[in-house]
Amino acid sequence: MMKILLMTSMHPLREFWQLDPDCVYLNHGSFGPSPIPVQQARERWSERLERQPMKFFCGDMEEELERTAQVLGRFLGTQPDRIVLLDNATFAMNVVASSVNLKADDEVLLTDHEYGAVKNIWQAKCREAGAKLTTAVLPFPPDEEGTVRAIEAAITPKTKLIVISHVTSATACILPVKAVCQVARRHNVPVCVDGPHAIAMLDVNLNDLGCDYYCASCHKWLCAPFGSGFLWVHSKHQSSIRCPIVSWGGSIAGRAASWKDRTNWLGTRDPAPLLAITDAIQFFTPERLTAYRTHAHQMVSKVRSALLEIPGSGVFCTPKESDYVSMVAVELPQTKGWTPGYHGHPDVLQTTLRDEHQIELLMGSWNGRRFMRISAHLYTTEDQINKLIAAVRRHL
Ligand SMILES: Cc1ncc(COP(=O)(O)O)c(C=O)c1O
């Protein structure tokens, strides 16, 4: 019995992380720290580069990036020649925006759950092209049937692209992207999935999903080093891929021309975080992947239940425990003097938790509702969860 209690409250794999013991870190959803073996792998790549820079940049690097794409492709059920490695999902989305041919009056359709920076990217692109950004308002919570119906209803003959999160940021809900892709295909509209939260959190099979583009970061739930992500592009769109950063546009190592040439060499930079994606995938054996999902789910479910007891709080987008994995958002009461928090101007409770309790998490407002988003991973302990619950009860 003792052993079982210990196992549920503190996972043995926790020892692989080096987080500050004085901080309760509950924001893996924004910035996911790497376990020690992944950090060491990144350092080994940087050391190799430092020892022989010319050989590495002009000789080995492209082949090593290809090898990483192979490992990532196997993990995500797709061919490596559909994947290009990039710093993050933001970069990947900018590449898609540079590649899609938009004309005046065309429309790009987003949902009302999309990430703020992604909205900015498409707003800028639409402004430049004289096109229009349109929004599908999803049912709340966004069940599969209602989501697909809302998106289909928002498609017009002018819709040139649908952009949709696989797992949303603020509302932390899993959207039925495969069903959306099926409907979009019937209307002949390509789909770009914004997927940084889905990698490792969900079993993702990119070929099976039916999308046209998939943008992701690996420095969230997969715990690859910060500055690691990718863009997946269906073969039919690869020849139109353009990069917002213009560089040589060809293989530095003299390899055969490829659609990846525009993004592989972005000027001189350290590719170590990208190459260590392999090590993050190796760290997450199927058993560890299951352990992460199970443990983190227990931790966030405990917080969710406790927060829901606070008068004025409520479920946000995930009415059932099966609606989320390791990240959950809960609606909180709008206490006296509350003003909506946003990027750079956090909610007053988020600041109080950080300053008075050394608890880091994300709060914000979405469609006028105040929410707290809690993330957990293998390093999260039940003591930390209890500390958060006690602190929130004290201040609300
Ligand atoms: C849904 C979603 N899309 C895109 C991003 C951007 O990811 P990155 O900062 O790694 O580029 C985030 C970051 O939190 C996100 O939650």
Question: What is the CA(185)–ligand 1 centre distance, in A?
Answer: 25
pLDDT mean across residues, the chain: 96
30 lines ligand 1 (CB under 6 A): yes
Q: Is the CB of 169 under 6 A from ligand 1?
A: yes
Reported pTM: 0.97
Question: Is CATH 3.90.1150.170 the classification given to domain 2-17+287-395?
Answer: yes
Question: Taking the CB of residue 112, how many other CB atoms lie within 10 A of it?
Answer: 16
pLDDT in the model for residue 337 = 85
Distance from residue 22's CA to the centre of ligand 1 (Å) = 27
CB 160 within 8 A of CB 100: yes
SS3 86: strand
Question: What's the rounded Cα separation, in Å, for the pair 179 and 387?
Answer: 40
Residue 216 Cα to ligand 1 midpoint, Å, equals: 8
Low-confidence ranges of the chain (pLDDT < 50): 1-7
Contacts of 136 (CB under 8 A, 6+ apart): 109, 110, 111, 112, 150, 151, 153, 154
Residue with tokens 């992380």: 17
Classify strands 191-194 and 213-217 as parallel, antiparallel or unpaired: parallel
Q: Which of 28, 90, 112, 113 to probe ligand 1 with, by most ligand atoms within 8 A of CB? A: 90
Bridge partner list, 202? 199
Pocket of ligand 1 contains residue 147 by CB under 6 Å: no
Question: CA torsion 92→88→151→120, rounded to 10°?
Answer: -80
The confidence score (pLDDT) of residue 8 equals 52
Residues 285/289/294/299 CA torsion (nearest 10 deg): 120
pLDDT in tens, 190-225: 999 999 999 999 999 999 999 999 999 999 999 999
Chain centroid to CA 73: how far?
17
Amino acid at 158: K
Phi, psi dihedral angles at 33 (to 5 degrees): -65, 150
Count of CB atoms situated within 10 Å of the CB of 343: 8
Ligand 1 mutation pick, 169, 223, 362, 371, max ligand atoms within 8 A of CB: 169
Give 309 Cα–ligand 1 centroid separation in angstroms.
30
- For residue 53, the tally of other CB atoms under 10 A from its CB is 11
Classify domain 39-283 by CATH number: 3.40.640.10
Residue nearest to atom 15 of ligand 1 (CA): 169
> Which ligand 1 atom is nearest residue 220's CA?
10
Residue nearest to atom 16 of ligand 1 (CA): 169
Is the shortest distance between the CB of 111 and ligand 1 below 6 Å? no
Q: Which residues pair with 159 in a beta bridge?
A: 107
Q: ω before 225 within 30° of 0 (cis)?
A: no
Ligand 1 pocket, 196 CB below 6 A?
A: yes
Residues 6+ apart with CB under 8 A from 127: none
Q: Where are the domains of the chain?
A: 2-17+287-395, 39-283
